[in-house]
């Protein structure tokens, strides 16, 4: 439980304390005469970031913890890492814990990369000989050989992330706790991290992994916990947990239009903002349910907060687990739009030909960027479209497809040759 709001208590001297104790009875009497509970105005509002969460992780299990922003995932990992003391309840942890909760967690900015490796190892309870044995491997993984004797305060966020992950993963913790650090690294480093976590799991050590990348969670984990509003709402195999999160938590209802004005999950340099998105089928009906192979239009509104001479627009199409499938972009066809002035609101439409995707739910993420490649606004929170089977693809078994996402309309033949 955390307190939010309220005034912070200033530093109090002995004289302040004695004066307050002498005046307290008079203030209490005055409040009662006015019909107020004494001290009510000074109460702080509280919030349960995590409550009534109970589970057990066995030795050697790889567990994914998923949920929306603010669900309590990071708080849970901080409790398990002994960083935050629980308000009530307890966490029994048997084994040496290596945590990577934020970029540079546990690093002293004034110390060099070399010194921080030894400091982190000592905190984990490792001897100098153990750290010496792993040192070269850590530096090679982090790819910072040239800067190993430079103070960490001069590192970029990417360098700090690489070193932090390398230390956490290579100093042989019995329990590895990783919180959404892959969002900072590039694609090559993400692949490297997932490979290393797979190695750690393969060695029989326990891994707790928090991420919004459902593809990475599915690839790495075997068991999943779903948190929502501070409570645990589901526990099961990772496939079941991801499905529960996508369908019951993230998108309990589907709408043919989505208001994006208050969505905070976005990136870009600004100057314009995508405020609404919707979908229209080939009959001109506003819907987010599209028949496989049917043409449809995705549209979105953009509010301009400054003059922009020219821009390009596009859509990302992703599978339910976050795997990117398509990136439709106007500049790939040499198409730009503008100029637009401050205060304008523009509706952009993208007519999409029939996509041969398996039946299921897919995410659409719109973006706009300057023609010089600087991204203006990129919405990370997905707008969902459901592709439904019909016609030649009207087969129930399609819903239970295996690997792959594309559903091709092929001509098939069979001929006896003997």
| 303, 197 Cβ separation under 8 angstroms | no
7 vs 282 pLDDT, higher one: 282
How would residue 416 be classed by pLDDT, with cut points 50, 70 and 90? very high
Q: Is 80 exceeded by the pLDDT of residue 291?
A: yes
Lowest-confidence region among 103-117, 184-198, 218-232: 184-198
At 396 the pLDDT is 46
**Cβ-based burial of 15 (10 A; exposed 0-12, middle 13-18, buried ≥19):** exposed
For residue 388, pLDDT over 80 is answered with no
Beta strands in 5-162 (DSSP E): 45-47, 62-67, 97-100
Q: How far apart are CA 227 and CA 77, in angstroms?
A: 12
* Predicted local distance difference test score (pLDDT) of residue 38: 47
What pLDDT does 42 receive?
47
- The pLDDT of residue 186: 66
Between 335 and 167, residue with greater pLDDT = 335
**Residue ranges of domains in the chain, CATH in brackets:** 62-250 (3.40.50.300), 257-400 (2.70.50.60)
Which range of 166-180, 202-216, 248-262, 339-353 scores highest in mean pLDDT? It is 339-353
Rounded mean pLDDT of the chain? 82
Residue 101 has pLDDT above 80, yes or no: no
More confident of the two residues 272 and 266 = 272
Local structure of 15: helix, strand or coil: helix
- Give the model's confidence band at 314: pLDDT under 50 very low, under 70 low, under 90 confident, else very high: very high
Tell me what percent of the chain is helix, strand and coil, each rounded to the nearest 5. Answer: 30, 30, 40
Which of 180-189, 224-233, 382-391 bottoms out in mean pLDDT, i.e. has the lowest?
A: 180-189
Residue 40 has pLDDT above 50, yes or no: no
Q: Are strands 345-352 and 206-210 parallel, antiparallel or unpaired?
A: unpaired
Residue labelled with tokens 């928090």: 210
pLDDT of res. 199: 83
Q: Report pLDDT for 9.
A: 58
Alpha carbons 401 and 396: distance in angstroms, whole number: 10
- Does pLDDT of 39 surpass 60? no
pLDDT top residue among 347 and 264: 347
Highest mean pLDDT among 3-7, 31-35, 81-85: 81-85
**Mean pLDDT, range 115-140, rounded to an integer:** 87
β-pair partners for 266: 379
Q: pLDDT at position 399, please?
A: 47
pLDDT score at 41:
46
The pLDDT tens digits of the residues spanning 318-370 come to 887 778 888 999 988 889 998 999 999 999 999 998 888 888 788 899 999 99
């Amino acid at each position: 439980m955390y307190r939010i709001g309220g005034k912070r208590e200033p530093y109090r001297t002995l004289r302040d304390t004695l004066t307050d104790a002498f005046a307290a009875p008079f203030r209490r009497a005055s409040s009662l005469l006015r019909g107020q509970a004494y001290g009510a105005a000074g109460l702080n509002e509280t919030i349960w970031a995590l409550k009534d969460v109970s589970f057990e992780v066995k030795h050697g299990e790889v567990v994914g913890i998923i949920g929306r922003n603010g669900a309590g995932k990071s708080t849970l990992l901080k409790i398990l890492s002994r960083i935050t003391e629980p308000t009530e309840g307890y966490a029994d942890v048997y084994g040496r814990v290596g945590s990577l909760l934020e970029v540079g967690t546990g690093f002293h900015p004034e110390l060099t990369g070399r010194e921080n490796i030894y400091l982190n190892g000592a905190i984990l309870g490792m001897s100098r000989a153990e750290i010496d044995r792993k040192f070269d491997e850590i530096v090679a993984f982090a790819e910072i050989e040239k800067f190993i004797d430079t103070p960490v305060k001069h590192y970029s966020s990417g360098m700090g992330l690489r070193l932090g992950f390398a230390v956490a993963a290579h100093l042989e913790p019995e329990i590895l706790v990783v919180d959404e650090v892959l969002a900072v690294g590039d694609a090559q480093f993400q692949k490297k991290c997932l490979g290393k976590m797979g190695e750690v799991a393969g060695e029989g050590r326990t891994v707790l992994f928090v991420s919004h990348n459902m593809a990475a969670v599915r690839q790495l984990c075997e068991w999943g916990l779903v948190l929502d509003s501070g409570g645990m709402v589901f526990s099961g195999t990772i496939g079941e947990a991801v499905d529960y999160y996508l369908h019951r938590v993230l998108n309990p209802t589907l709408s043919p239009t989505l208001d994006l004005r208050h969505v905070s999950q976005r990136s870009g340099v600004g100057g314009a903002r995508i405020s609404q998105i919707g979908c229209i089928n080939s009959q001109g009906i506003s819907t987010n349910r599209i028949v496989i192979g049917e043409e449809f239009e995705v549209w979105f509104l953009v509010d301009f907060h400054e003059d922009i001479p020219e821009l390009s627009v596009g859509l990302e199409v992703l599978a339910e687990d976050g795997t990117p499938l398509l990136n439709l972009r106007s500049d790939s066809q040499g198409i730009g739009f503008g100029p637009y002035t401050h205060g304008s609101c523009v509706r952009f439409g993208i007519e999409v030909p029939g996509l041969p995707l398996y039946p299921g739910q897919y995410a659409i993420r719109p973006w706009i960027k300057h023609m010089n490649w600087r991204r203006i606004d990129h919405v990370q929170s997905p707008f969902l479209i459901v592709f439904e089977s019909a016609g030649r693809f009207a087969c129930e078994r399609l819903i239970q497809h295996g690997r792959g996402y594309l559903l091709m309309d092929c001509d098939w033949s069979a001929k006896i040759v003997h």
